[in-house]
């Protein structure tokens, strides 16, 4: 009898042991020991190790150059060395029976030599009208321009230093292009946009600069600080009126607000100085900043014919 009871007790103990093991191994994960969370330093270290080093964005001028080399044939893209700087020219020879000359196309800073607003159209259409074209990929807009200085005097000083450096490079580049243009027969015509057009007027008003036979400006103006915008554009208008260079001043009905505001001033000063061979025209456009192609070509041809070309 005593032995039977011991067997029953042993059986109960065995069952209890089995139940205990079953309970232990069936504990849900949420009751398990929590994993120690990563500290912020650990996360930062892991992120630093996994994240590749970030590359700086490619300069806009370099992007334009790479695009030109990639999409255009080597026959059209020509290198140009001007001092320590190198540029790209897009050259197309005239395709008409007679050559009228060379049209040098200079887009606005920040824009490419195949800018669709006007430059690329003229680059492709003028050869059939007797003009060899040389489109230039200009330097990028100067860094830190306009100045962010606090006082107007400091802004003027910093802007002058920045633009003097830019104009020196622009002058060197244009002189190199002019030397290339002399390899072609006929006169030399420069067509320039925006701020670059205004800076060319400044350069051409100085003694010793190589001037073309005529200048065509597209939506020209001078960018500057808000407090200086009136004075710099008035100076631009006076320089334009005093230069002997024949000038065609074109702008759009839907254009940059500064262009629209300052265009009448240029016309007024030109009349006061009785500037010869100056014409200003506003062209109607449907898309802001884009020149109507046929009207643009018509205005250029009629003006050139009026001054004997």
Task: Indicate the pLDDT class of residue 83, thresholds 50, 70 and 90.
Answer: confident
For the ranges 36-40, 109-113, 251-255, which has the lowest average pLDDT? 36-40
Residue 20 confidence class, pLDDT cut points 50, 70, 90 = low
Query: Do residues 91 and 130 both lie within one domain?
Result: yes
Examine the domain organization and report whether 69 and 46 are in the same domain.
no
The confidence band for 81, taking pLDDT boundaries of 50, 70 and 90, is: confident
State residue 90's pLDDT score: 95
Q: Of the candidates 212, 219, 215, which has an alpha carbon nearest to the alpha carbon of residue 111?
A: 219
Tell me the whole-structure pTM to 2 decimals: 0.79
Same domain, 13 and 153: no
The answer on 97 and 29 residing in a single domain is: no
Backbone φ and ψ for 54, nearest 5 degrees, come out as -80, 135
| 233, part of any domain | yes
Burial of residue 110 (number of CB atoms within 10 Å: 0-12, 13-18, 19+): middle
Q: Which residues pair with 215 in a beta bridge?
A: 190, 247
Number of Cβ within a 10 Å radius of residue 89: 22
Four-point Cα dihedral 273, 219, 208, 167, nearest 10: 130
302 in the same domain as 243: yes
User: How far is 191 from 116, CA to CA, in rounded Å?
Assistant: 14
* Interval 18-38 mean pLDDT: 51
Direct distance between the N- and C-terminal alpha carbons of the chain, in angstroms, rounded to an integer: 136
Examine the domain organization and report whether 100 and 237 are in the same domain: yes
Assigned token pair, 220: 């020209």
Residue 55 lies in a domain: no
Asked whether residue 133 falls in the same domain as residue 176, the answer is: yes
Segment 10-19 mean pLDDT: 56
What does the DSSP assignment read for 146-204? S---SSHHHHHHHHHHHHHHHHHHHHHHHHHHHHHHTTSSSEEEEEEEHHHHHHHHHHH
Q: Identify whether residues 39 and 80 lie together within a single domain.
A: no
Tens-place pLDDT, residues 152-179: 999 999 999 999 999 999 999 999 999 9
Given a cut of 70, whether residue 39 has pLDDT beyond it is no
Task: Give me the mean pLDDT over the 60-75 stretch.
Answer: 59
Residue 67 lies in a domain: yes
Domain that holds residue 263: 61-306
Residues 30 and 85 grouped into a single domain: no
Domains: count for the chain: 2
Report the CATH number at residue 166: 3.40.50.1820
């Amino acid at each position: 009898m005593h032995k039977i009871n011991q067997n029953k007790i042993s059986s109960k103990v065995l069952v209890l042991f089995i139940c205990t093991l079953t309970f232990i191994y069936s504990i849900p994960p949420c009751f398990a020991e929590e994993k120690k969370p990563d500290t912020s330093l650990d996360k930062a270290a892991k992120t630093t190790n996994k994240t590749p080093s970030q590359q700086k964005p490619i300069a806009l001028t370099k992007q334009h150059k790479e695009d030109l080399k990639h999409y255009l044939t080597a026959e059209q893209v020509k290198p140009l060395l001007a001092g320590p700087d190198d540029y790209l020219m897009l050259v197309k020879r005239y395709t008409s029976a007679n050559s009228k000359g060379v049209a040098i196309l200079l887009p606005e800073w920040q824009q490419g030599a195949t800018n669709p607003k006007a430059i690329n159209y003229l680059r492709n259409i003028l050869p059939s009208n007797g003009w060899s074209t040389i489109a230039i990929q200009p330097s990028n807009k100067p860094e830190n321009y306009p100045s962010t200085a606090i006082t107007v005097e400091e802004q003027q000083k910093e802007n002058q230093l920045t633009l003097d450096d830019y104009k020196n490079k622009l002058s060197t580049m244009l002189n190199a292009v002019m030397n290339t243009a002399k390899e072609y027969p006929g006169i030399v015509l420069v067509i320039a946009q925006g701020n670059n057009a205004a800076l060319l007027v400044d350069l051409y008003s100085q003694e010793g600069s190589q001037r073309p036979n005529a200048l065509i400006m597209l939506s020209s103006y001078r960018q500057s600080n808000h407090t200086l915008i009136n004075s710099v554009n008035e100076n631009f208008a006076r320089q334009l009126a005093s230069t002997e260079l024949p000038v065609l001043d074109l702008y759009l009905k839907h254009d940059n607000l500064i262009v629209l505001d300052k265009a009448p001033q240029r016309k007024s000063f030109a009349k006061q100085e009785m500037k010869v061979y100056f014409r200003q025209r506003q062209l109607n456009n449907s898309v802001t900043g884009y020149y109507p192609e046929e009207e643009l070509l018509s205005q250029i041809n009629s003006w050139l014919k009026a001054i004997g070309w």
